[in-house]
Amino acid sequence: MRDVSIIGIGQVAVGEHWDKSLRELGYLALSAAMRDAKVERIDSLFVGNMLAGELTGQEHIGAMIADFAGLRGVEAVKVEAACGSGAASLRMGYITVAGGMSDIVACVGVEKMTDRPNDTVTSALAMAADNDYEALHGLSFVSINALLMRRYMHEHGYRKEDFAPFAINAHANAVNNPYAMFHHPITSRQFAESKMIADPVSLLDSSPIADGAACVILAPTAIAREFTEKPVRIRASTIATDSVAVHDRRDPLFLEGGAISAQKAYAMAGVGPGDIDLFEVHDAFTIMSALSLEAAGFAARGKGVALAAEGQINLGGRIPITTMGGLKARGHPVGATGMYQIVEVATQLRGEAGHNQVPSAHLGMAQNIGGSGATVVTTIMEGN
Amino acid sequence: MEVARYWRTTGQRYQLIGEVCHNCGKKIFPPRDVCPECDKEAKTPYAFTGKGEVYSYSTIHSAPEGFEKYVPYTVALIRLEEGPLITAQLTDVEAKDVRIGMPVEMVTRVLREDGERGMLVYGYKFRPSLLGLQSADLHPVESAV
Ligand SMILES: [Zn+2]
């Protein structure tokens, strides 16, 4: 197996791109990453995407984006794992380079959501859940997270306002990220007063839907320095699964897929949670941040929220999370999100995170989650 | 909902018919054919009593397509007395009166009206149980179908 590095990164600012189509967004991120890597051709393209068919009426977007980007003829395929699609496409690219099948591989995450009305998007997102046994009963994706949050508060004795530090930290970090959707900080008072969507989840617990695209270029580490001064090594790449429906989990408050995925990644990299300098969590909802921190071994059961209250998740804390705004404030273009996380960790490890730079960041981890925990993709990266 | 899919899932939606694993005895709902406990095949039908308690709940204010006219409505995870968790709506109760641990029982109601032809999809919901869990002893239910 060959060692694999990221030799180029590219991203489009997350937001409402009413003037850009899905293929244009994909192309913009891909071309930016190819410029960054100084490559003019690639061997393979993996496109992570969840909802192109449902929201834009277009499937077959591997070939579509390859052609639109002037790469006609190249191997290209779409990868889907709900909101975990972005990082899942990186995993496919990683396997391809590590296995020696291709040398230069592009992995793009792309999503176009804002053309459609809210209830259509709400229904589309519910497809990440179990259609026959969750969505049929009128559960939105938000409400599934609400069920988890309410039970978590009940079992561990937290109040709703205890979750505020996750959202406040994310917004504070997004202020300095030019690619983030939001650039305003929020206060605990705003958090407490924000509109209820599915009790106890309110608007400021939730990440916003958006359009976006991000991309990385992979190459064997042995030749990475021919392209860049700052290659970022992929020390581990894993995917693990759990039941799609929350009610089928052994313990709904423990993300077993997250734990398996993280443990496999730690073993692959030969490190533990104590060695990780920053962690991009899948904060689709504040409760998911808490459950992810616990599943990945950064906090004991029921202590994820306490870790946030102690300020340990902030820049300068023991384990900074959502360092560029996270899903909450960078925005959550679902199938692209996992790739934004990878690009953000790479940015930190290249020392290019500006005001948000985690000092002497050496090892960074990203964990991208499909659905409420059914697919969990973990990536550990190492800087120079 | 497609007609074939409607009929395929009728037993589960009307009568909470799941499965029982003959290898380890685990009661399974929704039916899944392979026991999640011991990974052996489990295809023997088993009718649940429909009694359980609220494990968690949420009230939805922003609904998916097809459910807009029902907002606000309350959804829940129910711990059935036989063991499994099940996802369903609560009915015949005000959202403010719902509590974790509240005893509930299954009833059959309209889940939603489907598509332009207005096909009604029926299925299980749960309402507060007046007698509580102990009522199961008073009303023995044929459990193996
Ligand atoms: Zn069994």
* Domain residue ranges in chain B: 1-48, 50-145
Q: Residue B2: its pLDDT value, please?
A: 79
Q: In chain B, which among 50-69 make CB contacts under 8 A with chain A?
A: 55-68
Residues A252 and A183 in one domain: yes
What is the model's pLDDT at position B138?
A: 43
What is the mean predicted confidence (pLDDT) over B72-82?
Answer: 97
Kindly state the average pLDDT of the residues A79-86: 98
Rounded to the nearest angstrom, the minimum Cα separation between A99 and chain B is: 32
Judgement on whether residues A295 and A370 belong to the same structural domain of the protein: yes
**How deeply is A19 buried, as exposed, middle or buried, from its count of CB atoms within 10 A (0-12, 13-18, 19+)?**
exposed
Question: Is A122 domain-assigned?
Answer: no
Q: What is the pLDDT of residues B85-102, one digit of tens each?
A: 999 999 999 999 999 999
Domain containing residue A70: CATH number: 3.40.47.10
- Within A154-231, strands assigned E span 196-198, 201-202, 212-220
Q: Give the mean pLDDT of A80-100.
A: 98
**What share of chain A in percent tops pLDDT 70?**
100
B77 touches chain A (CB under 8 A): yes
User: What's the pLDDT band for B137 if we cut at 50, 70, 90?
Assistant: very low
Contact with chain B for residue A336, Cβ under 8 A: no
Total number of domains constituting chain A = 2
Which residue in B has a C-alpha nearest to residue A153's C-alpha?
B56
Q: Answer whether residue A125 is part of any domain.
A: no
Which has the minimum average pLDDT: A332-341, A367-376, B107-116? B107-116
Cα–Cα distances (Å) from A313 to A171, A183, A280, A331, in that order, read: 13, 19, 10, 19
Question: How far is Cα A123 from Cα A126, in angstroms, rounded to an integer?
Answer: 5
If asked whether residues A264 and A176 sit together in one domain, one would say: yes
Cβ B61–A148 below 8 Å, yes or no? no
What residues of B are in contact with residue A252 (Cβ under 8 Å)?
Answer: 55-56, 77, 85
Active site residues of A: 83, 332
pLDDT tens, position by position, A233-291: 999 999 999 999 999 999 999 999 999 999 999 999 999 999 999 999 999 999 999 99
Closest CA to A162 of A196, A207, A205: A205
Q: pLDDT tens digit string along A12-33?
A: 999 999 999 999 999 999 999 9
Q: Give the pLDDT confidence score for residue A289 in this predicted structure.
A: 98
Residue A127 covered by a domain: no
Angle formed at CA B28 by CA B25 and CA B29, multiple of 5 degrees: 160
Give the helix ranges, DSSP H, for A47-117.
Answer: 61-68, 85-98
On the question of pLDDT at B143 being above 60, the answer is: no
State how far residue A60 is from chain B, nearest Cα, in angstroms. Answer: 25
Same domain, A41 and A185: no
Distances in Å between the Cα of A246 and the Cα atoms of A5, A133, A143, A258, B60 are: 35, 10, 11, 14, 17
Band the pLDDT of B140: cuts 50, 70, 90. Answer: very low
DSSP string, A101-156: S-SSEEEEEEE--TTS-HHHHHHHHGGGS-TTTTGGGT--HHHHHHHHHHHHHHHH
**Where residue B120 falls among pLDDT bands split at 50, 70, 90?**
confident
Residue A24 covered by a domain: yes
The parent domain of residue A49 ranges over: 4-117+210-232
Residue A134 in any domain: the answer is no
Q: What is the pLDDT of residue A229?
A: 97
A192 and A309: one domain?
A: yes
Domain identity same for A225 and A368: no
Average pLDDT over residues A335-348: 98
Residue A94 lies in a domain: yes
Q: Which of residues 221-250 of A touch B (CB under 8 A)?
A: 243, 245-248
Condensed to tens digits (0 to 9), the pLDDT of residues A368-378 reads: 999 999 999 99
Chain A residue with CA closest to B121: the answer is A136
Same domain, A54 and A203: no
B84 Cα–ligand 1 center, Å:
13
Rounded average pLDDT over B67-71: 92
* CATH level 2 (architecture), domain B50-145: Beta Barrel (2.40)
Q: State the nearest Cα–Cα gap between A55 and chain B, in angstroms.
A: 14
Q: Which of A194-198, B81-85, B127-131 has the lowest mean pLDDT?
A: B127-131
| pLDDT reading at B139 higher than 50 | no
Is 70 exceeded by the pLDDT of residue B134? no
The answer to whether residue A132 is domain-embedded is no
Whether the CB of B10 is below 8 Å from some CB of chain A: the reply is no
Query: pTM score, two decimals?
Result: 0.95
